[in-house]
Structure 1
Amino acid sequence: MNIESFREYCLAKKGATEGFPFDQDTLVFKVMGKMFAIAPLERIPPQANLKCDPERSLELRETHEGTILPGYHMNKALWNTILLDQLPEGLIRELTDHSYELIVASLPKRTRQALGELP
């Protein structure tokens, strides 16, 4: 998956926004103000950081050694760096969905309700 396809997939999520809060080269995707994906635009190979359940993170890193890594500049227990051009697109979508769902589940009830009311 290339970075543009990843971007389109992230933005298709309900309530998703994009921005550059850190610098001009690091694209951040948020849902209701909380990060669920980070994609450095200048990095080769293309990659993204996604939140993940800690136990699943370890399993994924073992199963996909060299293509799913501890989150670069992130909490290594909660975030993975995935190499977008070296993993199956279905897995990338699954891991993106998982990250998004973890963030949505952690939102306050009122914020989750507001998200549910979005078109």
Structure 2
Amino acid sequence: MDSDGALRYALGKLGAWPDSPWGEDHRVAKVGSKIFLFPGTVDGRSTITVKNTEAAVDELKQRYPELARAARYLDKRLWVQLAIDSVPDDEVCELIDDSYDQVVAKLPKSERPG
């Protein structure tokens, strides 16, 4: 999966919508008013930046030390950037699902989908 495929998958989630808050070159997936996926490229590699628990972020960094790193400008305990070209698609989808769930759980009830 590449970052465009990750974005397409994310936008299939209930209440998800695309936004480009920093211009067309910087697309994100939001639910309610919050971002849950930053797709992109770094050094020619497809990446995703997603939210998770501290334990899950630490585990991901340990499991993929060359692919996972702290997300710039975000809480480094809860957000991780991952080069996804060497990660199985089902795991990429699971990370997007987890990020979506984490963000939805923090939304005010008036912004939660469904």
Question: Normalising to structure 2: TM-score of the pair?
Answer: 0.91
Q: Secondary structure at the match of 2:92?
A: helix
Alignment of 1:80-91 (within 5 A): 80-91=80-91
Amino acid corresponding to residue 106 of structure 2 in structure 1: S
The residue number in structure 1 matching 2:65 is 65
Shift of the 35–81 alpha-carbon distance from structure 1 to 2, 3 Å rule, reads same
Which structure 1 residue ranges, 4+ long, deviate > 3 Å from structure 2?
none
Map 1:8-87 → 2, pairs under 5 A: 8-40=8-40, 44-87=44-87
Percent identical pairs in the alignment equals: 29
Alignment CA distance shift 1:13-1:43 (3 Å): farther
Structure 2 alignment gaps of length 5 or more: none
Mapped to 2, the partners of 1:109 and 1:57 lie a distance apart of 26
Q: Is residue 48–residue 83 contact of structure 1 (8 Å, CA) maintained in 2?
A: yes
Q: Which residue is 1:92 aligned to?
A: 92
| Of 95-104 and 18-27, the range deviating more from structure 2 | 18-27
SS of match in other structure, 2:4: helix
Distance (whole Å) between structure 1 residues aligned to residue 40 and residue 72 of structure 2:
10
Query: Following TM superposition, by how much is the alpha carbon of 1:11 offset from its aligned partner in structure 2, in angstroms?
Result: 0.8
How many pairs are equivalent? 114
Secondary structure (helix, strand or coil) at the match of 1:29 reads strand
The alpha carbon displacement at 1:109 in A equals 2.1
Q: Quick check: which has more Rg, 1 or 2?
A: 1
1:6 aligns with 2:6: yes
CA deviations 1:60-92 (Å, max 9, x no partner) are 101111112111332211100011212111110
The answer (yes or no) to whether the contact 1:51–1:102 under 8 Å persists in 2 is: yes
Structure 2 CA distance for aligned equivalents of residues 63 and 101 of structure 1: 22
Structure 1 stretches lacking a partner, 5+ long: none
Secondary structure of 1:6 counterpart:
helix
Code of the aligned partner of 2:102: L
